[in-house]
Chains A and B, each alone.
Chain A
């Protein structure tokens, strides 16, 4: 059927449009970039001070820790962008009704949009921020092609997990009037459990044991640890299994809830 190729083309074009849409907000993005670099620098100085007393924490030396810090700043907008309320706002305004009535899949439509902006953030945040870390703190680049390939692949999974998660805490707006509070909560939970405040490796044992099983672990910690060479071999295969299952589960959940929301719109008119 020649139509099938067309079918995927739409999602590709949505991602492209979303990428271009980000290009419009040059100045906002530049400010964000500066803020990320600023935080990277602050955290780096704190860690340098800490490491003067102590030389190895949870198998991380100073350089590993600095790389981790800069990778977090570099990846955060790709995986868990701050204040993402795009979907929630369409629910508020009622525009969601026209999106739901489009002859395309609602979830994959939003997924494609987010893939487009994730790609933007990768090019215009991740790369320059990490370069900033290299220039300011000499964090360098890991050597092995395995860590490049592995972290690249797991970053794709991480980004997809992040999209499913933010879709979920936005779509709650169909049922809860104070959806903004949910967005804030979703944001805080994600930021904490992805290891953006405290590296997961530094968490107390009991907390780490829980966190490693959560999907947030796959969003940022796994690609980062592969990049810095902390995660390899059999452990990698295990992480793949764990996070691939999460990805399937969250995607199914997101699509399921989207279907319930669509039914609600169809009966109650939004």
Chain B
């Protein structure tokens, strides 16, 4: 075990974990932020997506020891105009079904719009195909991202 200070959603959290613990488990079990989900543990489903210094990462494939001073953002701390647009579009399109994959989907969608405000269908597929949804909400996800992009146009 070793002590680490993790900066998550603007607050510092002390965690005492094995250095090889995936960031996902520190976020969920040690810090208690359970919006980030465990789906596969092998970087295949996207349910555990968070931001590290603003970039999407799969928190199941990153050991706590590699986080360093980087800022972690989870679904609980997601802010900004893209996040607001995505949230509104998600509600308008009634995107989630069971909801399990959705925090990962929202993190990836907001990140996509931050980098590419007017994504095409192909851009969306390339950005979102790493986020698996067992309820197959893909069609609504794509429509909602297009709607969010429209809102952002102003």
Q: Do A and B bind each other?
A: no
Q: Which residues of B contact A (CB under 8 A)?
A: none
Q: Which residues of A contact B (CB under 8 A)?
A: none
